[in-house]
Amino acid sequence: MNWLEHYLTNSPDLPRLFILVFTFLICWLIEKRISTKDGKLKTKHAFFNARFILIDVPVQVVLGLLFSVVIGYDMKHRFGMFDHLGPIQNPLIQFALMFIMLDFLEYVYHVIMHKVKPFWMFHLVHHSDKKIDVSSTLREHPGETFARLSFTLLWVFITGVPLWIFILRQFIQIASNILAHASVRLPEKLNSVVSLIFITPNVHQVHHHYKLPYTDCNYGDVLSIWDRMFGTFITLPMEKTIYGIDSCFEEKENTNFKTMVTIPFSGYRTSATVEN
Q: What are phi and psi of 198, to 5 degrees?
A: -110, 155
Cis status of the peptide bond prior to 201, with omega within 30 of 0? no
CB distance 59 to 142 below 8 Å: yes
Which pLDDT does position 9 carry in this prediction? Answer: 52
Q: What is the pLDDT of residues 135-178, one digit of tens each?
A: 899 999 999 999 999 999 889 888 888 888 888 888 889 889 98
Which pLDDT does position 275 carry in this prediction? Answer: 47
Which pLDDT does position 15 carry in this prediction? Answer: 53
pLDDT at 260 exceeding the cut of 80: yes
Query: Which of 214, 211, 217, 212 lies closest to 199 in space, CA to CA?
Result: 217
Q: What is the pLDDT of residues 166-187, one digit of tens each?
A: 888 888 898 899 889 988 888 9
- The DSSP symbol for 243 reads B
pTM of the predicted protein model? 0.86
Instruction: Give the Cα separation of 95 and 123 in Å (integer).
Output: 29
Contacts of residue 171, defined as CB under 8 A and 6 or more positions apart, other chains included, come to 16, 19, 20
Q: What are phi and psi of 243, to 5 degrees?
A: -80, 155
What SS3 state is found at 38?
A: coil
Name the E strands within the chain.
none
Query: Which of 183, 192, 177 lies closest to 238 in space, CA to CA?
Result: 183
Instruction: Give the Cα separation of 142 and 239 in Å (integer).
Output: 32
First-to-last alpha carbon distance for the chain, in angstroms, is: 52
Helix axes 2-10, 163-181, angle to 10 degrees: 90
Question: How many CB atoms are closer than 10 A to CB 160?
Answer: 21
Instruction: Give the Cα separation of 137 and 179 in Å (integer).
Output: 10
Question: How many CB atoms are closer than 10 A to CB 132?
Answer: 24
